[in-house]
């Protein structure tokens, strides 16, 4: 890195990194294939509503769509319901992948910007050290050339010579220190460049993951909407009734275990604030990848609720399950988060009396539901 070419290369690399990160971090830039709309920033796992709680396993979307006769029976509609649940579940899992990639991209972009700043500052320091080293070399050239013994013989004042020799030794030591600092600065710049390159590669990998997740989300939601569009108005109403009946049966079965008698913990001050925020969002539409203020996905709602209470939590339901302290279901209190399904693909905020508030899925709004209306994986407490 001691040559002018190396210096210019480092500076160019730093500026390129800064410019690239600026483009990647610009609002409205989508990491997706051309023609794919940008959903906006945010991250959270998607969600499902009205799931059959008789099993804790997640549904699997099949490749075929159940045929609908001209007038669909309850049996036909139940098949549609199962298919829709599978499609929306897969969209929810993909949403978690998208949101995780989004969060990682934010962190990696910040690291790249920080490294770019270090590269620019290090290059300026290196230039200054080189200028100082050059000045010292020129000064030594002007005063050097003769051995010290000859200088002593030619000197009119030996004391002055010896004083000067002492200053020369001090200068030599300072020069040595400066050369050492210059070498360390060069090494630092090389490491910063390597680190920036590594973060850039991670950012590119995350971009591909995010684009793939977005494509899958849109495909699953489009398939679900196409399936629902084939239903007449009365059939859609009946389908919603069937979903509600499934949720009610699951909630009743959960309550029949007597669990509610064991759940009597009071909310913490932060928990109350989180519940207040969530309930104020009632009626707002679900949108994957959204974290407010007008639309939410499931973990967008829970993360923003706790943010309003002064507690930062992970952005996705899967990371909320992994990172937040677990508590027993019977010990949960208002404000705690209930994680649903084997793959932690949905999350809701417990509000008390066996009730949750959540953002269910596309086509639904933030609403209240029974805490046992979906299969519970576990409970986590942000302010434990």
Q: Both 144 and 202 in a single domain?
A: yes
**Stated pTM of the model:** 0.59
Q: Both 102 and 220 in a single domain?
A: yes
Catalytic pick among 81, 89, 298, 326: 298
Determine the pLDDT at residue 140.
60
Given 204, 227, 250, the domain boundary residue is: 227
Domain extent, residue 288, equals: 258-380
Given 180, 210, 227, the domain boundary residue is: 227
Q: Both 268 and 332 in a single domain?
A: yes
Determine the pLDDT at residue 173.
64
Phi-psi region of 28 (alpha: psi -120 to 50; beta: other; left: phi over 0): left
Is residue 70 in a domain? yes
What radius of gyration do the chain's Cα atoms show?
32
Determine the pLDDT at residue 248.
92
Determine the pLDDT at residue 122.
81
Q: Both 214 and 269 in a single domain?
A: no
Given 227, 248, 267, the domain boundary residue is: 227
Determine the pLDDT at residue 231.
83
CA dihedral 18, 23, 27, 33 (to 10 degrees): -140
Is residue 278 in a domain? yes
Determine the pLDDT at residue 65.
47
CB 288 within 8 A of CB 47: no
Q: Quick one: tokens of 30?
A: 């989508």
Distance CA 100, CA 297 (A): 14
Is residue 51 in a domain? no
Is residue 48 in a domain? no
Q: Both 201 and 291 in a single domain?
A: no
Q: Both 317 and 359 in a single domain?
A: yes
Q: Both 220 and 368 in a single domain?
A: no
pLDDT along the chain (384 residues), means of 10: 43 44 35 34 37 43 48 75 84 84 83 83 80 69 51 51 52 65 81 83 83 86 85 85 90 93 92 96 95 96 97 95 96 97 96 96 94 96 94
Q: Give Cα 15 to chain centroid, integer Å.
A: 25
Distance CA 375, CA 250 (A): 8
298 is catalytic: yes
Q: Both 223 and 262 in a single domain?
A: no
Is residue 41 in a domain? no
Q: Both 69 and 174 in a single domain?
A: yes
Is residue 147 in a domain? yes
CATH number of the domain that residue 347 is part of: 3.90.1720.10
Determine the pLDDT at residue 33.
32
Determine the pLDDT at residue 172.
55
Q: Both 213 and 304 in a single domain?
A: no
Q: Both 74 and 204 in a single domain?
A: yes
Neighbouring residues of 256: CB distance < 8 A, sequence distance ≥ 6: none
Determine the pLDDT at residue 42.
37
Is residue 153 in a domain? yes
Determine the pLDDT at residue 384.
85
Element (H, E) at 349: strand 346-352
Determine the pLDDT at residue 41.
36
Element (H, E) at 338: strand 337-340
Domain count, the chain: 2
CATH number of the domain that residue 170 is part of: 1.10.287
Q: Both 360 and 276 in a single domain?
A: yes
Is residue 321 in a domain? yes
């Amino acid at each position: 890195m001691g040559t002018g070419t190396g210096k210019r290369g480092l500076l160019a690399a730093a500026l390129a990194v800064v410019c690239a990160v600026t483009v990647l971090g610009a609002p409205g830039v989508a990491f997706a294939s051309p023609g794919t709309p940008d959903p906006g920033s945010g991250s959270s796992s998607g969600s499902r509503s009205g799931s059959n709680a008789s099993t804790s396993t997640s549904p699997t979307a099949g490749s075929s769509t159940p045929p609908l006769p001209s007038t669909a029976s309850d049996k036909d509609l139940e098949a549609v319901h199962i298919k829709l649940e599978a499609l929306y579940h897969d969209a929810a899992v993909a949403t978690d992948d998208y949101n995780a990639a989004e969060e990682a991209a934010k962190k990696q972009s910040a690291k790249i910007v920080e490294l770019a700043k270090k590269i620019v500052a290090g290059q300026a320091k290196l230039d200054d050290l080189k200028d100082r080293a050059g000045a010292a070399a020129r000064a030594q050239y002007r005063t050097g050339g003769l051995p010290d013994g000859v200088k002593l013989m030619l000197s009119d004042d030996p004391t002055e010579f010896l004083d000067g020799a002492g200053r020369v030794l001090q200068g030599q030591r300072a020069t040595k220190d400066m050369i050492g600092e210059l070498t360390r600065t060069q090494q630092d710049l090389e490491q910063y460049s390597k680190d920036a390159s590594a973060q850039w590669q991670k950012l590119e990998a995350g971009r591909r993951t995010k684009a793939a997740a977005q494509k899958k989300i849109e495909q699953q939601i489009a398939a679900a909407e196409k399936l629902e569009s084939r239903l007449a108005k009365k059939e859609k109403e009946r389908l919603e009734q069937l979903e509600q009946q499934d949720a009610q049966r699951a909630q009743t079965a959960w309550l029949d275990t007597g669990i509610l008698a064991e759940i009597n913990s009071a909310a913490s001050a932060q928990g109350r604030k989180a519940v207040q925020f969530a309930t104020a969002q009632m009626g707002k539409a679900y949108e994957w990848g959204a974290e407010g203020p007008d639309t939410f996905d499931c973990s967008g709602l829970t993360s923003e609720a706790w943010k309003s209470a002064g507690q930062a939590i992970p952005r996705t339901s899967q990371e909320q399950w992994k990172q937040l302290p677990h508590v027993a279901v019977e010990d949960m209190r208002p404000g705690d988060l209930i994680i649903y399904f084997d793959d932690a693909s949905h999350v809701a905020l417990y509000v008390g009396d066996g009730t949750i508030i959540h953002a269910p899925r596309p086509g639904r709004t933030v609403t209240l539901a029974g805490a046992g209306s979906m299969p519970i994986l576990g409970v986590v407490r942000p302010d434990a």
